[in-house]
Amino acid sequence: MSNNSNSNADKLAFERIRQWLNKSCGMHYPERKQALLEQRLRRVCNAENFSSFEELADVLEQGHSFDVQSTVISAAATNHTYFFREPLVLNYFRDVILPALGNEARIWSAAASTGDEAYTIAIIAAEAKGIEWVKNNLSILGTDIDKHVIAHAEKGIYRENALENTPDLIIRHYFDALNNGQYRVNKHLCRACTFRRLNLKTQPYPFNNKFDVVFCRNVLYYFDEVHQKQVLENIYDVTKQGGWLITSVTVSLRHLNTRWVNIVGSVYRKL
């Protein structure tokens, strides 16, 4: 009887945490992924010395511990990324979008994770337009809800596995090899990239200037459809007229009825 009571209490508390994630940052874990979330939350409980999901849920709902909230959000997010991910989309950015940009360009990596995407964009721009253009004319903002990955991105240091899809010539040109088998991003690329913590569910977005291009990849599937549309419409509002949105190749916006116009594949435009 006691075991059943504990099991039921755990289930109810787990549901409270799942609802907190959805309410606070729009993360949506469908039933098929709940076992994964449960496993990650148990690691949080062990690390933070919580005896049960119920105790963790109480702390989250009280809202007094930012560190615990950040730890739970970090655990719930995958944050698996690497340089030059989804090359077909990146090639379209290089061949079609980049040449059409003006003398100055503002680009937003809206789910930057550890910064791989933002620095990849900077490398592509440097290869296409030269490093001087990147230094003087390109501004890339990377945002993420997880403060830990933002700290990682700001350091600009990566292990070899993050560069497994990166050509050797690019690595030699844009990275400095460190003694411990890691690589540091070239200082000129670092200066072009700024990283900040941002919850995509927050609205309106706190930007004074609009963006030419927004990359919003590998994050929308964390949201339910209501929050997906909300995020996409908010991004639309902070994008320049004629600006571009690039999503993951596995995500389609067509059923969401947003204002974005599909150009090709996962590339959309504000027209």
Extract the tokens encoding 152: 């990682």
**Could you report the per-residue pLDDT of 47-74, keeping only the tens digit for each?**
888 999 999 999 998 887 777 887 787 7
Q: Which residues of the chain have pLDDT under 70?
A: 1-6, 25-26, 77-80, 250
What does the alpha-carbon distance between residue 203 and residue 209 come to, in Å, rounded to a whole number? 15
Is pTM, for the whole model, over 0.85? Answer: no
179-194 tens-digit pLDDT:
888 999 999 999 999 9
Residue 157: strand pairing partners: 184
76 neighbors 40 (Cβ within 8 angstroms): yes
> Domains in the chain, ordered, with CATH?
2-76 (1.10.155.10), 87-269 (3.40.50.150)
